[in-house]
Amino acid sequence: MSGLTIQNATIVPMTEERQSFAGYVRVRDGVITEVGSGAPRDSTNGDQLIDGSGCVLLPGLVNAHTHLYQVLLRAVWEDLELMPWLRRIYGCARALRPEHFYTGSLLGCVEAIRGGVTTLCEHNFLNPSPDCAFETVRAIQDSGLRAVFARTIMDTGEIVPDCVKEKPDAAFRHIESLLAKHKSGADLTFMTGPNTPPINTTPELLKEIRRFADAKTIGISAHVAESRSVVECVRQQHGKAGVVELLHQFGLAAPNSIFAHSVHVSKDEIALLKQTGTSVSHNPVSNMMLGDGVAPVVEMLRQGVNVALGTDGAASNHSQDLFDTMKAASLLQKVHHQDAGIIEPYAVLRMATAGGAKALGLSSVCGTIEVGKRADLILVNLDTVHNQPINDIFSQIVHCAKASDVQTVIVNGEVLLKDRVLTRLDDKRILADAKIANHDLMERLELS
Ligand SMILES: [Zn+2]
């Protein structure tokens, strides 16, 4: 791959040091080789040149928790709390076919790219047939996005249809076939996990997952303490104070684990998250949509817990927009604490970049603009009426910028979006296919 130079941009590297400067970034073979202020000193002859005038250059955003196919289920069940909502979502397993997963996931990837996401974690939990997971992975790979595919398991639960309840050994064989087909690397890695403990997982499964993940050296993704009803379940059925405490008992709180939501966690459980090095994916829009509650994000950050940001699936968010999610994350903590200064915009932006990369085990790969990291970069046009004039660039990226301001998206040095035009994918065709898939799915669900 030849060289690439992005120049005349305002660089926001998102390292621990809070800084922004006018400069350039050079890329060779998909890796950042130079980050500098002003203009490039050496010749850029032969490089592909991208002019970042009027734009801020950020590390690509990391969506740490989503279910891509759910773009086909936008605004279908939007007035239900978690348990009745989950009953409907799980019930979709009887209607979903592998082609729905491919088509829906590809549309979700297009929305992600257009909104400046370069890495996502697909938390996969509905597999009426093994091809559903394969087709989701195929869509992600076709898109060019960097991804972690977390193939999780359910083995019990009154609201879980039999077609997606799995014996641990059978589920592990399916995951092994995914691992055998795809070479794990920086572009695509795998995780497993209990889907929503304890409402759809037995203690035996939790134990077996720890053993399997260790054997395969893969991480853990789980929905954790999303609503009060889940915590009531863990108290009644397991005599534990909370879901984090239960997972800790089985060794599932660990540095390569990501606990999505973590809304209803106690002070002691926050200490456990810190002590075990477990990361959290905060999904504020989804939490608000389902009326779950407010995750103790400020408390977790103060205790040193790594917090990432996720959209969650479009069935509980309506979109895959991480700019929306950043703004929601900021405002939700302000109103919850009734303190306008409770969270810094830079902290929110770190959650959507470096925090997400760390949560997914990709700290050495992406999440900041630094020499040696993969070139996952986005140019966001701030020269627009809703972004100008700039007084505080970090606040304005979080509170003013929109997904539609994303001009250019680069993953691994490959330009996936150039001046808002997709280079790899045909969004008109993908959208047309998704409409057909949606119609078919609604008929199968008898909702049309
Ligand atoms: Zn989720």
CB distance 324 to 403 below 8 Å: yes
Which runs of E-coded beta strand occur in 386-441?
Answer: 406-411, 414-418, 421-422
Q: Is a pLDDT exceeding 90 seen at residue 94?
A: yes
* Residue 316 alpha carbon to ligand 1 centre in Å: 8
Query: Does 105 lie in the same domain as 12?
Result: no
* Residue 52 alpha carbon to ligand 1 centre in Å: 35
Which runs of E-coded beta strand occur in 234-375?
Answer: 257-261, 279-282, 307-309
Which runs of E-coded beta strand occur in 265-405?
Answer: 279-282, 307-309, 377-381
Angle at 16 between CA 11 and CA 21, to 5 degrees: 20
Among candidates 171, 165, 129, 131, which has minimal Cα distance to 151? 171
In the chain, the percentage of residues whose pLDDT exceeds 90 is 96
Query: Does 304 lie in the same domain as 169?
Result: yes
* Residue 311 alpha carbon to ligand 1 centre in Å: 8
CB distance 143 to 113 below 8 Å: yes
**How many angstroms separate the Cα of 255 from the Cα of each of 73, 82, 206, 220, 382?**
33, 28, 17, 9, 36
Q: Is a pLDDT exceeding 60 seen at residue 241?
A: yes
Per residue in 203-238, pLDDT tens? 999 999 999 999 999 999 999 999 999 999 999 999
Instruction: Give domain status of residue 394, yes or no.
Output: yes
Residue 118 corresponds to which tokens in the numbers above? 């370069």
* Residue 405 alpha carbon to ligand 1 centre in Å: 26
* Residue 189 alpha carbon to ligand 1 centre in Å: 18
Query: Does 313 lie in the same domain as 283?
Result: yes
If DSSP states are collapsed to H, E and C, what string results for 239-293?
CCCCHHHHHHHCCCCCCCEEEEECCCCCHHHHHHHHHHCCEEEECHHHHHHCCCC
* Residue 165 alpha carbon to ligand 1 centre in Å: 18
Instruction: Give domain status of residue 428, yes or no.
Output: no
* Residue 123 alpha carbon to ligand 1 centre in Å: 7
The pLDDT score that the predictor gives to residue 1 is 52
The pLDDT score that the predictor gives to residue 419 is 97
Rounded CA separation 221/117 (Å): 19
Q: Could you write out the DSSP letters of every residue in 184-211?
A: -SSSEEEEE-BSSTTTT--HHHHHHHHH
**Which domain covers residue 382, as residue numbers?**
4-59+370-422
At which of 317, 336, 359 does a domain end? 359
* Residue 58 alpha carbon to ligand 1 centre in Å: 26
Contacts of 208 (CB under 8 A, 6+ apart): 168, 172
Rounded CA separation 425/432 (Å): 13
Query: Does 9 lie in the same domain as 147?
Result: no
Query: Does 167 lie in the same domain as 86?
Result: yes
* Residue 295 alpha carbon to ligand 1 centre in Å: 14
- The residue among 193 and 42 whose pLDDT is bigger is 193
Q: Is a pLDDT exceeding 60 seen at residue 374?
A: yes
Q: Is a pLDDT exceeding 80 seen at residue 447?
A: no
Strands 257-261 and 219-224: parallel
The amino acid that residue 344 corresponds to is E
The amino acid that residue 292 corresponds to is D
* Residue 268 alpha carbon to ligand 1 centre in Å: 24
What is the SS3 assignment for 123? strand
Positive/negative CA dihedral, 235, 239, 241, 245: negative
* Residue 260 alpha carbon to ligand 1 centre in Å: 7
Average pLDDT over residues 138-147: 97
Instruction: Give domain status of residue 273, yes or no.
Output: yes
Average pLDDT over residues 130-142: 97
Within a 10 A sphere around the Cβ of 79, how many other Cβ atoms?
Answer: 9
Residue 416 corresponds to which tokens in the numbers above? 């996936």
Among candidates 263, 316, 357, which has minimal Cα distance to 66? 316
* Residue 91 alpha carbon to ligand 1 centre in Å: 16
Rounded CA separation 272/274 (Å): 5
Query: Does 411 lie in the same domain as 286?
Result: no
Q: What is residue 162's DSSP assignment?
A: G
Residue 438 corresponds to which tokens in the numbers above? 């949606």
Rounded CA separation 71/445 (Å): 15
* Residue 225 alpha carbon to ligand 1 centre in Å: 12
Per residue in 41-93, pLDDT tens? 887 788 999 999 999 999 999 999 999 999 999 999 999 999 999 999 999 99
Rounded CA separation 210/217 (Å): 10
Query: Does 387 lie in the same domain as 339?
Result: no
* Residue 309 alpha carbon to ligand 1 centre in Å: 12
The amino acid that residue 380 corresponds to is V
* Residue 253 alpha carbon to ligand 1 centre in Å: 18
Instruction: Give domain status of residue 436, yes or no.
Output: no
The pLDDT score that the predictor gives to residue 45 is 80
* Residue 438 alpha carbon to ligand 1 centre in Å: 20
Instruction: Give domain status of residue 435, yes or no.
Output: no
Angle at 155 between CA 151 and CA 160, to 5 degrees: 95
Residue 245 corresponds to which tokens in the numbers above? 């405490």
CB distance 380 to 405 below 8 Å: yes
Q: Is a pLDDT exceeding 60 seen at residue 388?
A: yes
CATH code of the domain containing 398: 2.30.40.10
Q: In 39-185, where does DSSP find H-type helix? A: 82-91, 98-114, 130-143, 168-181
Q: In 144-266, where does DSSP find H-type helix? A: 168-181, 203-216, 228-238, 243-249
Instruction: Give domain status of residue 285, yes or no.
Output: yes
* Residue 301 alpha carbon to ligand 1 centre in Å: 21
Strand partners, 124: 151
Q: Is a pLDDT exceeding 70 seen at residue 448?
A: no
* Residue 427 alpha carbon to ligand 1 centre in Å: 25
Rounded CA separation 70/434 (Å): 11
Instruction: Give domain status of residue 270, yes or no.
Output: yes
CB distance 144 to 411 below 8 Å: yes
Instruction: Give domain status of residue 427, yes or no.
Output: no
* Residue 330 alpha carbon to ligand 1 centre in Å: 20
* Residue 283 alpha carbon to ligand 1 centre in Å: 8
* Residue 32 alpha carbon to ligand 1 centre in Å: 32
Query: Does 335 lie in the same domain as 288?
Result: yes
Q: Is the preceding omega at residue 389 within 30 degrees of 0, hence cis?
A: yes
As a whole number, the mean pLDDT across the chain is 96
Query: Does 12 lie in the same domain as 125?
Result: no
* Residue 84 alpha carbon to ligand 1 centre in Å: 15
* Residue 428 alpha carbon to ligand 1 centre in Å: 28
**How many angstroms separate the Cα of 327 from the Cα of each of 65, 385, 388?**
17, 18, 17
Rounded CA separation 399/234 (Å): 37
Q: Is a pLDDT exceeding 90 seen at residue 289?
A: yes
